Chains A and B, each alone.
Chain A
Amino acid sequence: MIRTEEMLLNVGPQHPSTHGVFRLVVKVEGEIIREATPVIGYLHRGTEKLAEDLQYTQIIPYTDRMDYLSAMTNNYVICHAVETIVGLEVPERAEYLRVIAMELGRIASHLVWYGTYLLDLGATSPFLYAFREREAIINLLNELCGARLTFNYMRIGGVKWDAPEGWIDKVREFIPYMREQLDGYHGFISGNEIFLNRVKGIGQYTQEEAIQYSLSGANLRCTGVDYDIRKVEPYSIYDRFDFDVPVGETGDAWARYKCRMGEIEESLKILEQAVEQIPEEGKVLGKVPRIIKAPKGEVYVRIESPRGEIGCYIASDNKKSPYRLKFRRPSFYNLQILPKLLEGENMANLVTILGGVDIVLGEVDG
């Protein structure tokens, strides 16, 4: 008597390819996935609730820990929200420093993605190559703000430190170096037939689906939607830079790969212009009251993080801490399409798809 049965498989919470503590309950028939249910919350720390008891400045270090791969953008979104609701001016030099730090962070974040994605696909070396470049970025940011991962660099109304001496020049030198390495990556893996076979046509979705699922970032752009908040709704000083938004067509893992790699290049372009334009001298912290109280009201701001649209909503009732704080965390929204993508796929594509969505569990769980 031969009889087949569906098998329930727990992928995670301890699994090397879930990029953190993430659990996926999959029903498999042979190696074909019939149903996948993501289980999240293992890393939930209640940032939003904690923030209700914190002063605005105190919230900033907490945001470092959400999307820990690009803490700078998180720092920015909370500062930006408070500045908007209070109506604070940010000095020009501070804005440039912020942009430089954020773009460096974006490159570092995409590098981690690139390395870990290929690690998921079984190639070990790209991970270490990507981390060499990331190390260079981390060292730059370490010099700038004194931490390697949880920067806590931005302050409401500006930034904590001015750039140390010679730092801008170091960034300038880093740009051509990174370009060269990026070419190396493309030569190394982007043309590799095994890699192409594994990502082309995998995890495909259409524009409509992407929009319906509220995807953002490279996950949205890979389907051909030209939507980057830096362009659509320029915040900070992004309207002063000339850069393109890499857009894919096919909406599969390969298009996502190309979009992200393209974004590194565009970030380098922005950096190049930023280090040229940055004013030589100037204050880095605007006029800020000693105790920041947001006036009664609410505000929502959104910016483009490496993973998509990160938003911050503040409802305030004229106190030192927000009445309610809410982050729109892009990884969380992007994750929702996962069950649909996995249905009917081969087990081996699970990591390709999951990795391609690029989630950071600190952000998913908040």
Chain B
Amino acid sequence: MEWMMELLKSPPGLSNLSTFLILTLPVLSIVLGFVTYAILAERKVLGYMQLRYGPNRTGGRFGLLQTVADVLKLLIKEDTRPKEADRPLFILAPVIAFVPSFMVLAVIPYTESVMFANIGVGLLYFIAISGLTTVGMLTAGWASNNKYALMGGMRSAAQMISYEIPLLMALVGVVLFAGSLNLVEIVEQQQYIPYILLQPIGFIIFFIAATAELNRTPFDLPEAESELIAGYHVEYSGFRFAFFMLAEYVYLFAMSALITVLYLGGWNPIIGLGFIPDLVWFGIKFSILVFVFMWVRATLPRIRPDQLMEFGWKVLLPVAMLNIFLSAILKEIFF
């Protein structure tokens, strides 16, 4: 870590810039590796739940190279752009959508030693940055000059506003208990009891709101393929489209990791099973969450936009407030 600090303090220059860029490559490759196999896993899980096998032709029996092939195909596809599209915005939108998804990964602590940035307000940073992606979606919807895309973009903005609030409110409970916004500290506080047990309501609210933030079924309205065809990215093709896809799955990664950290006790082992390395514990909890997200997707129909709003404002928000209230009482009495 020493050299890292030195590097950070060194004067800006072209060589330093390139060092920084190169340093991000391992993270990028890990995340891309995850995305590749998360997409495969999703297709496999959906397939098995739907009485099919999922991809099983490219890359052996388990279709291990399927996503790689898909990405390659996307990369060599023609990059089409609608004639009347707003060119600069159209090009910028996938970048705006993707970059924040990658930036939030910086603050997630996987174990005590494997983490990238340990900033004091990690939680706040995560939530604030992740909100930016919606701007990308809205931009994409607007710039495509397509009515379906516009509706998708609008829906995504409305959805983000309504669900960001309960999401944050649910977090207040955690913050109250931990007394910190630093993710590492939050994990350390959960050494004995993970917060899912202390904050069951908060966890459920957070999980629901997170699903909405991730635009996943049953909250996949912005890209509802049976109504809006594909929503905001209907006009995108090739690698620009791949960027949206990538952003979606990187967020899945980030959200699952965040929930692991906030509610499932991060890398803390279940008492008595400490001999299993921390990273494995993190991995197990994280995988369970990812699986649950996929499982929900395999089961539920899509919710209707007006009901989505109603649910967000009339149910989730009051319950989240109640949760804060309860947490405060609990904290006063027991801790």
Q: Which residues of A contact B (CB under 8 A)?
A: 7, 9, 15-17, 31, 118-125, 128-129, 132, 189, 192, 194-195, 197-198, 346-351
Contacts and interface: CB of A to CB of B under 8 A. Distances in A.
Interface in B33-50: 46, 49-50
B227 interface: yes
B52 interface: yes
Contact of B301 (A9, A128, A192): A192
Given A120-B226, A347-B151, A351-B227, A129 B50 contact: yes
A347 B148 CA distance: 11
Contacts of A16: 225-226, 229
Interface residues of B, number: 28
B298 interface: yes
Contact of A122 (B46, B51, B218): B218
Given A31-B151, A197-B307, A122 B299 contact: no
Q: Is the interface of B mostly helix, strand, loop or mixed?
A: loop
A189 B298 CA distance: 12
A128 B217 CA distance: 17
6 cross-chain pairs, A with B, having the tightest CB-CB distances, nearest first: A122-B302, A123-B301, A128-B50, A121-B301, A17-B226, A122-B301
Interface string B149-166: 001000000000000000
Given A31-B151, A128-B50, A194 B227 contact: no
Nearest to A350: B227
Contacts of B147: 7, 9
A346 to B, nearest CB: 6
20 contacts: A9-B148, A16-B226, A17-B226, A17-B227, A31-B151, A121-B226, A121-B302, A122-B300, A124-B50, A125-B299, A128-B51, A129-B50, A129-B51, A189-B301, A194-B301, A194-B302, A198-B303, A198-B304, A348-B224, A348-B304
A57 B122 CA distance: 76
A192 B298 CA distance: 13
Given A16-B229, A123-B300, A125-B50, 20 more contacts: A9-B148, A15-B229, A17-B227, A119-B226, A120-B226, A122-B226, A122-B300, A123-B217, A123-B301, A123-B302, A124-B298, A125-B298, A125-B299, A128-B52, A189-B301, A198-B301, A346-B304, A347-B227, A348-B304, A351-B226
B6 interface: no
B49 A125 contact: yes
A197 B301 CA distance: 11
B314 to A, nearest CB: 13
A122 B305 contact: no
A293 to B, nearest CB: 49
A31 B151 CA distance: 8
Interface of B: 46, 49-52, 147-148, 151, 217-218, 220-221, 224-227, 229, 297-307
A52 to B, nearest CB: 39
Contacts of B225: 16
A13 to B, nearest CB: 13
Q: Is the interface of A mostly helix, strand, loop or mixed?
A: helix
B325 to A, nearest CB: 26
A122 B306 CA distance: 16
A349 B46 CA distance: 26
From A7, A118, A122, residue with most partner B Cβ within 10 Å: A122
Contacts of B51: 128-129, 132
Contacts of B46: 124-125
Contacts of B52: 128
Contacts of A7: 147
A132 B52 CA distance: 10
Nearest to B49: A125
A351 B298 CA distance: 20
A247 to B, nearest CB: 26
Nearest to B302: A122
A351 B224 CA distance: 11
B301 A31 contact: no
Contacts of B148: 9
Contacts of B301: 118, 121-123, 189, 192, 194-195, 198
B155 to A, nearest CB: 8
A189 to B, nearest CB: 7
A346 B302 contact: no
A231 to B, nearest CB: 33
Nearest to B147: A9
A31 B305 contact: yes
Contacts of A194: 218, 300-303
Contacts of A123: 217, 299-302
From B51, B221, B227, residue with most partner A Cβ within 10 Å: B227
Contacts of B303: 194, 197-198
From A120, A129, A348, residue with most partner B Cβ within 10 Å: A348
A197 B304 CA distance: 8
